[in-house]
Structure 1
Amino acid sequence: NIYQLPKVLSLQSVPLQNVAVGNVALQNEATNSNSLNINNLNSNSTNKKERSRDSIKYSDEHLMLAQLLQNNLQSDFSREMAKVNIKKWADVIRLMEERDQLTIEQIEYVIKWLPTNSFWFGNIRSASKLREQFSKLVYEIKTEQAKAKQQKKSYGNVRKEQLPEWASNPEQVPQVEEDPAIKAELQRRLEEYQRKKAANDGA
């Protein structure tokens, strides 16, 4: 036989499928080994993907803010919100905190402010859009606050009329002296009116 078994091995100790003529057994062994390696690679790749999915580090706070944004939009964009991947939104919120150096309080404030502004409310319909436009939203909020402060200051500068003390107490209203000439004229007109009325009634 061309294929020679090692001397230290007896025929009984070798599996029958490995006993063959020539290099057939060695080729089979190499093929099986390659197949095993490919399977291992596929398995490792799958495990890495699963670990990648599980390694998302968003917290409960990030998830809460993502849900807050979704709830704000639910009534006006219900179909769109039904398709939202809330975990992706939460991860975007995480990036806003970790990479953009924003605080949870800042993000929450802007999300709660959005429904008060009709323009931005309709344009921020995802967490990624919120992140993209965040600096503009902060500028808009500051502008609104400055206008409100200016209006309040203007109202405070309106001159207040100082009323006399008697104005708040009817009993202290001063009596105005009547002009005798005016009083006589009014009396004359009253008497004339009464005469005309009596004449018309007697006719």
Structure 2
Amino acid sequence: MNYLMESKAFYASIELNQLSTGQIALWHALLDINNQVQWQEWFSVPNIVLQLHTGLSVQGINKSRNVLKQLGYIDFKTSGNRKATKYHLLTLLSTNSSSNSSNNSSSNSSKNGSNNSSSNSSTLNKQNKTNNSDKSQATRHHTQQKFADDSVEMQLAMYLFSKIKENNPDHKKLTDSQRQKWADSIRLMIERDKRTPQQIQNMIDWCQADDFWKQNILSTAKLRKQYDTMAPKANAQWQSNQQRKRVYS
């Protein structure tokens, strides 16, 4: 399998299937793990590993993987003796290829028909522009998600806010609109930047304990923007702490 191509095909497909954030996180975790084991057809993953990668509960993992299986993204086999579940990633490239072929055929047919009549072509173009505009508005409306209080995005956003309040009890409260924007920045970190919820939480803990960064990371948008800048120092400190633990253990 090709990591990049499968990821592109996945995001092309979820525009139609409208997966939840948890389902998207689970698929990406399985893709990443399968890549690490060199693309085995069936590979075993304990629930605790998936919990760390996705931030989902065991129940959330079970629900998400059932949906992914029904939609043809994955297959899995469970064992009754508490062994790790075996997973199989289904390639999405052939599905997108046939879809593109169908779209190209439809596009060519439309172009040939328009060449036969200039007046009909003009009318069709106007109609297509109107339809595309409607679709664009619908897409923009769909992306304006409403995050529930128990969603991973909102929980991480409010976790950062609680740390900020600990450092500065006089910090202003967030409005409902601001809370949604904060949660959306977390969504972007998970979906676009490929950060796991655990990585995000670890970075929140680190930056709000650092004398310099706790004065600068005062929103999830700033957390996302400065993540790569902070990561080297955060990782270095983590490795140093691990070495100390080994020395004194």
Q: TM-score range by the shorter chain?
A: 0.3 to 0.5
Q: Scaled by the length of structure 1, what TM-score is found?
A: 0.45
TM-score computed with the length of structure 2 as normaliser: 0.37
Larger Rg computed on CA atoms: 1
